[in-house]
Amino acid sequence: VKVIGLMSGTSADAVDAALVEWPEGPAPRPFALLAYREEPIPAELRARIHRLAAGRVPGPEALRELARLDVILGERFAAAARAVADQARVPLAAVAAVASHGQTVAHHPEDRATLQIGDPSVIAERTGCTTVADFRPRDVAAGGEGAPLAPFFHFAVLGDPREGRGVLNLGGIANLTWIPRDATPEDVVAFDVGPANALLDGVVATLSGGAESCDRDASLARRGRVDGALLARLLDDEYLRRPPPKSTGRERYGLAEAEALVAASRACGRGAEDLLATLVRFSAEAVAGACRELLPGAPRPDRLLLGGGGARNPALCAALREVLPGVPIESMDAAGVPADAAEAMAFSLLGRNALLGLPNHLPRCTGAARATVLGEIVPAGPGQSFATRPSSATS
Amino acid sequence: VKVIGLMSGTSADAVDAALVEWPEGPAPRPFALLAYREEPIPAELRARIHRLAAGRVPGPEALRELARLDVILGERFAAAARAVADQARVPLAAVAAVASHGQTVAHHPEDRATLQIGDPSVIAERTGCTTVADFRPRDVAAGGEGAPLAPFFHFAVLGDPREGRGVLNLGGIANLTWIPRDATPEDVVAFDVGPANALLDGVVATLSGGAESCDRDASLARRGRVDGALLARLLDDEYLRRPPPKSTGRERYGLAEAEALVAASRACGRGAEDLLATLVRFSAEAVAGACRELLPGAPRPDRLLLGGGGARNPALCAALREVLPGVPIESMDAAGVPADAAEAMAFSLLGRNALLGLPNHLPRCTGAARATVLGEIVPAGPGQSFATRPSSATS
């Protein structure tokens, strides 16, 4: 079954599109990534999304702007789906479904409210493909936080009958999915470990007055030395010790913290290279500490699979190898999941499972009361039917 | 197949719920209404909906309030579905689906934007029933106005092989669906004829300083005499002459027009009874004129079926009989569709057709480029599967 997964993150930089071929039956493996691409979102549209999500559209216009962007993003998502099918030389008529995460413009689990836009009716109409979307609201309706959803994908495609595996996504924040050897869905644990690129990038941006956005190839961090006293202070962190489920973000490990660290380093004459080297080590130690202290049974991972932009940071990879001696650390690519394509592939699987009537989230990770099927299905057009439960079909 | 239809109009007064049993196959008849009820929406919640839809929630709070009301209304809709199933003594496990129109909070077809809330994921989770919702966005995506949708229901359940039938819904505005004898979907014409209760109620509210909301049992109108000169002036109306497709609303035939009419009547000494009698006649003449001038082939309807609150206005029914002599005029009730239940029954049918993969709108009436299947389907839970197109299932 060929399913296109679409993902647009909160940064609204680009739509990621992945066309994956899944088995016909319920098993998720073997799978094959047929094509992957990123469709940039133009700056003007990105600015409108951020303006809406930040609540800066005045009340009288807010709903209309929301409804407009819902359609405009639906068109963009449809175009991204068409483009990735073209790239794979697969006709859309051979694609079983498009599965779209949507663009999050509000997420308030405390109000049981999460809102993604990018109208799936537009995607279905423009592609002629069955479209699945709005995954998070169903998890929230079932008592969950609506997040994280990626661990289901990690479990399904990266779990192993002989190895306990950690899947570490190094985006702005480091997210860890722990999949014990031969795990059931209930065995999987996933949480936000602590800082990754958000803090490192924030320091570089602060040091350069905004001229640089990241430490390319870790050229600064690799020249620095770890400051043991600073590292100890950083590791004395309430968040790192808190047991999962837990999540964090840039409000804790972002620009504000980076500015404070740069100011303190300047005050004591610590160089930029040393600060960055220490922060790289901090991120790595947070991961090692999480493995030691927060995973049930304090397992030593048999393997760590890396994804996200941080997987290409040589200093961070080296630090992880130092703090987790003897643990094989490699990119998800080795398991058939190119790190850049992982999120879009995850929604491809979630959508495929929705079509098959298979659960597609991990209640232990999201907090949902029970496993159900996330997603709303928009038919491609006439001639498709949806099998309701036997009890109702025969009533 | 038992399907619950839910409708909440723009007034947000109540959720209408209808449980209808449809045939298993594609034919829509014979059907049976098993139960119908109205669940009032509490005044406080109604005020929040109107405040949001009117753009009076400040920008920083608008999206969060939208997301909150989406969930709160989803809970209300689920409760209405449970209540109507209870009333019919049908267990929810025997209900194939809940089909929900949702609460419209924005409708801008010129922006291709229409927004209904009342989260279907919440309805599915709380009822355990497959839920179909978001019908209008797909019609808009297919090039239509997203409205009117009720004519599909009229065509399916009230069309006749031997009679050309007009279905006249007398709500605030009079909506006419014309179904020629033995019609195909392409033969049906539907449009807003002109004023109905909105103008009559506006006059009563103006005359009584807001103390009365309508002319109960037409007791005032029945005592009045039609003012021929005023009637002629009212009938000289550009909207009435305009060919369909067309739609109108309270902005044309509502409180502002009512106030102007009351002021003019006071100025010339015309009594309230005469004004109301004339407006009743105006509504009726507008219908007769539409049948004469605007229907293809200028047919004489073999029968007129009435729905909406105006169907219970004896003066309006009498005036229709006068202006359409020889045309049998009766309530939809006679055809198995209680007027109050009609809208909720319509969405029950639209949802049932979505499950069966059958078209559920009339492109000629909405302006859509082609007939497709409206609605997004939320699975009840694991174990249901969605049959994608054969071409993709075998690819």
Residue of A nearest to B91 (CA): A392
pLDDT at B391 over 90: no
What is the rounded distance in angstroms from the CA atom of residue B41 to the CA atom of residue B55?
20
What is the rounded distance in angstroms from the CA atom of residue B364 to the CA atom of residue B135?
17
Long-range pairs, B183-186, Cβ under 8 A, ≥24: B183/B155, B183/B159, B185/B152, B185/B155, B185/B359, B185/B362, B185/B363, B185/B364, B185/B371, B186/B364
Query: Which residues 109-168 of A have a C-beta within 8 angstroms of B?
Result: 111-115, 119-122, 124-126, 129-130, 133-134, 137-138, 140-142
pLDDT at A225 over 50: yes
The answer to whether A134 contacts B124, with C-beta atoms less than 8 Å apart, is no
Share of chain B above pLDDT 90, in %: 85
What is the rounded distance in angstroms from the CA atom of residue B25 to the CA atom of residue B323?
41
Question: Which of the residue ranges A352-361, B148-157, B238-247, B271-280 would you say has the lowest mean pLDDT?
Answer: B238-247
Nearest to A50 by CA among A12, A89, A92, A24: A12
What average pLDDT is seen over chain B? 94
* Chain B CB contacts of A138 below 8 Å: 121, 124-125, 378
pLDDT at A388 over 70: no
Quote the distance between the C-alpha of residue B192 and its chain's center.
Answer: 11
The answer to whether A59 contacts B58, with C-beta atoms less than 8 Å apart, is yes
CB–CB of B335/B158 below 8 Å? yes
CB–CB of A294/A242 below 8 Å? no
Share of chain A above pLDDT 70, in %: 98
Average pLDDT over residues B342-369: 96
DSSP B95-132: --EEEE--EEEEEEGGGTEEEEES-HHHHHHHH-SEEE
Average pLDDT over residues B230-234: 97
* Residue B278, H or E segment: helix B272-293
CB–CB of B303/B324 below 8 Å? no
Min Cα separation B6/chain A (Å): 18
Average pLDDT over residues A154-165: 97
pLDDT at A353 over 60: yes
The answer to whether A125 contacts B114, with C-beta atoms less than 8 Å apart, is no
Min Cα separation B184/chain A (Å): 17
Report the pLDDT value the prediction gives residue B250, as an integer from 0 to 100. 83
Q: What is the pLDDT of residues B182-227, one digit of tens each?
A: 999 999 999 999 999 999 999 999 999 989 989 999 999 999 999 9
Question: Which of the residue ranges A385-394, B208-217, B329-338 would you say has the lowest mean pLDDT?
Answer: A385-394
The answer to whether A386 contacts B383, with C-beta atoms less than 8 Å apart, is no
B329-331/B303-307 β-pairing = parallel
Per-residue pLDDT band at B394 (split at 50, 70, 90): very low
In the block, residue with structure tokens 């679409």: A6
Min Cα separation A377/chain B (Å): 5
Per-residue pLDDT band at A389 (split at 50, 70, 90): low
What is the rounded distance in angstroms from the CA atom of residue B329 to the CA atom of residue B306?
7
Report the pLDDT value the prediction gives residue A56, as an integer from 0 to 100. 94
Which two structure tokens, joined as six digits, stand for A242? 């808190």
Q: Collapsing DSSP states into helix, strand and coil, what is residue A34?
A: strand
User: Is A173 in the B-facing interface, judged by CB distances under 8 Å?
Assistant: no
**CA angle B38-B109-B191, nearest 5°?**
65
Has the ipTM of the complex gone over 0.95? Answer: no
Residues paired with A177 in a beta bridge: A167, A190
Which two structure tokens, joined as six digits, stand for B54? 């009117």
Per-residue pLDDT band at B105 (split at 50, 70, 90): very high
Q: What is the pLDDT of residues A303-331, one digit of tens each?
A: 999 998 899 999 999 999 999 999 999 99
CB–CB of A99/A352 below 8 Å? yes
User: Is A247 in the B-facing interface, judged by CB distances under 8 Å?
Assistant: no
pTM for this prediction: 0.92
Q: What are the angstrom distances between the C-alpha of A221 and each of A216, A280, B290?
A: 10, 7, 79
Task: Please give the residue that has the higher pLDDT: either A44 or B391.
Answer: A44
Nearest by CB to residue A63, choosing from B105, B358, B373, is B105
Asked whether the CA dihedral B55, B59, B60, B66 is positive or negative, the reply is: positive
Min Cα separation B68/chain A (Å): 6
User: Is A394 in the B-facing interface, judged by CB distances under 8 Å?
Assistant: no
Q: Which residues contact A268 (CB under 8 A, 6 or more apart)?
A: none
Question: Which of the residue ranges B30-39, B92-101, B106-115 would you say has the lowest mean pLDDT?
Answer: B106-115
User: First-to-last CA distance in chain A?
Assistant: 32
